[in-house]
Amino acid sequence: MNTSLFELFKIGIGPSSSHTVGPMRAALAFLHEAGPRLPDIHRVLIDLYGSLALTGIGHGTDHAVLAGLSNQQPDTITPESMASLLDRASAKNQLLFHGDHPIEFLRERDLLFHRDQMFPAPEIKTHPNGMRFTAFDATGEIVASHVYFSIGGGFVIPAEELSPEEDAVPKSSRPMPFPFRSAEELLKLSTKSNLTIAELMFQNEVALAHDASILRPRVEHPTGEQDADKVRDGILALWSAMRDCAERGMRTGGILPGGLNVRRRAQRLSERLKEEGSRDPLAPLDWLTIYAMAVNEENAAGSRVVTAPTNGAAGVIPAIGLYYLNFIEGANDDGIVRYFLTAAAIGILYKENASISGAEVGCQGEVGVACSMAAGGLVAALGGTNAQVEHAAEIGMEHNLGMTCDPIGGLVQIPCIERNAMGAVKAVNAARMAMHETDEHKVSLDQVIRTMYQTGLDMQSRYKETSLAGLALNVIEC
């Protein structure tokens, strides 16, 4: 384990963690690298490759890199500040590099979409989401040049950190009491220490409480100064941001941006359900659908969401959390904390042993992983055993294997919004199946994680966040 809960769950803007949040973070990293030569920088060239180029416009990648180069942070940028910098770039052909250093910017010259190639890197294990930033001085000489890969969930790594070994296993470089690399190790550690998965994860997060490289959400009203208090407060701050997002989505109507003329549905569906009441025994599932759609409509509109583990799958985790609080007797914040900690443990296993990038493994790595995380997390919130958590997480992924990523028009709208609702429903079913089961199951979580990754690698690239096949090809854009 080398990933924190607060890196897996992080506040950012829509519509995509790998195509919006990731490129913005990469641009910020380039600012840091080029900082010592800032006075010399006269022009910046951005090259986008592979999936970033093919769906970059629909995913807002062009806006994201300009925001990052302007020193805007994904967790604090507002729609107003984004609009202001885009207006400057368009009307004045100017970019405020680093936020205070004006340079000339010509979109057709300085922002290039290489739609027919991935970043050419034969010496390393490459990734479909590659980008290169190059800064020039007034004479045209290169001042700085760096390549980054957005590997899913808003995580970004420089090219030199991509491993040339296909089966390289990430090793923990952070001090924590219970490092784990597999679900099998996680279960053995939990049994040996007589801890639940949530308790084990909590102790790991407490050990990381002073790691300055982990950006945690701001807490308005901290409950205490102890590291344990900081971890709990941080988790509840993430949960508050998720609830706010869902509530905004249920209040907001209209048409989503992007040109597909997709109408928001969460608002009118929630109003209709309130009018009809909850006499239908399946009404909780209707609300579950609405919660997930509300979050992903907000994401599609470019609003603030919490990556969970990606923006394209951001609706599943909050939908299950709201289902738990609103429809499970005795639900409370302690259950929510267990839910997040357990879901994070599962998500970390996918992130470190497979992929959470739709461009690399399809939507099974986004909504499929979110479903698996939510299923296991819900079992923990309900007081289930560690074995039941593992079983639920396995079921959640097993029935999402092979799911493609084929957004129409490169927009995170169709089928992404409804797909989150379906993922949330599957998560509840998976949790219930696992908690009703008494015998050992045949397929382990580790096996299904390996299967997901192998399936993703075997999947044709046109079905992996390129908008070149599937629904994206067979539905005419109007």
- Confirm whether 422 is domain-assigned: yes
Please check whether residue 42 lies inside any domain of the structure.
yes
What's the token pair of residue 26? Answer: 């990469």
The answer, yes or no, to whether residue 168 has pLDDT greater than 50, is no
Is 216 exposed, middle or buried, given 0-12, 13-18 or 19+ CB atoms closer than 10 A?
buried
Residue 12 falls inside a structural domain: no
Whole-number pLDDT of residue 159: 86
pLDDT band at 477 (very low <50, low <70, confident <90, very high): low
Higher pLDDT, 124 or 91: 91
| In-domain check, residue 373 | yes
Number of domains in the chain: 2
DSSP tag of 354 = S
* Pair 81, 136 in one domain: yes
Q: Which residue among 133, 150, 167 closes a domain?
A: 150
271 and 336 in a common domain: yes
Percent share of the chain, pLDDT over 90: 78
* Listed residues 150, 173, 208: the one ending a domain: 150
Q: Is residue 169 part of a domain?
A: no
Q: What per-residue confidence (pLDDT) applies to 54?
A: 92
Q: Do 385 and 249 lie in a common domain?
A: yes
pLDDT band at 327 (very low <50, low <70, confident <90, very high): very high
- Residue 367 located in a structural domain: yes
Q: What is the DSSP string of 261-293?
A: -PBP-HHHHHHHHHHH-S-STTHHHHHHHHHHH
pLDDT at 167 over 50: no
pLDDT of residue 430: 98
Asked whether the CA dihedral 448, 21, 124, 464 is positive or negative, the reply is positive
Query: What's the confidence (pLDDT) of residue 90?
Result: 83
Residue type, 301: A
Write out pLDDT tens, residues 108-128: 999 999 988 777 655 555 788
Is the same domain home to 379 and 273? Answer: yes
The answer to whether residue 478 scores a pLDDT higher than 50 is no
Same domain assignment for residues 119 and 203: no
CATH code: domain of residue 32: 3.30.1330.90
Residue 199 neighbours by CB distance under 10 Å: 18
- pLDDT by residue (tens digit) across 407-445? 999 999 999 999 999 999 999 999 999 999 877 889 999
Question: 184-231: per-residue pLDDT in tens?
Answer: 999 999 999 999 999 999 999 999 999 988 989 988 888 888 999 999
pTM equals 0.93
pLDDT band at 166 (very low <50, low <70, confident <90, very high): very low
3 state SS of 59: helix
Domain endpoint, select from 103, 135, 150: 150
Please check whether residues 202 and 124 belong to one and the same domain: no
Q: Lowest-confidence range among 212-221, 323-332, 405-414, 450-459?
A: 212-221
Residue 281 pLDDT: 85
**H-run or E-run covering 195:** none
- Is residue 53 domain-shared with residue 194, that is, in the same domain? no
**Weakest mean pLDDT among 157-161, 249-253, 299-303:** 157-161
Q: Is the pLDDT of residue 165 over 60?
A: no
Output the pLDDT for position 118: 74
184: left (phi over 0), alpha (psi -120 to 50) or beta: alpha
> Residue 93's Cα: distance from chain center in Å?
32
In three-state form (DSSP H/G/I as H, E/B as E, the rest C), the secondary structure along 132-143 is EEEEECCCCCEE
Q: Which domain holds residue 44?
A: 19-150
Instruction: State the chain's mean pLDDT as an integer.
Output: 92
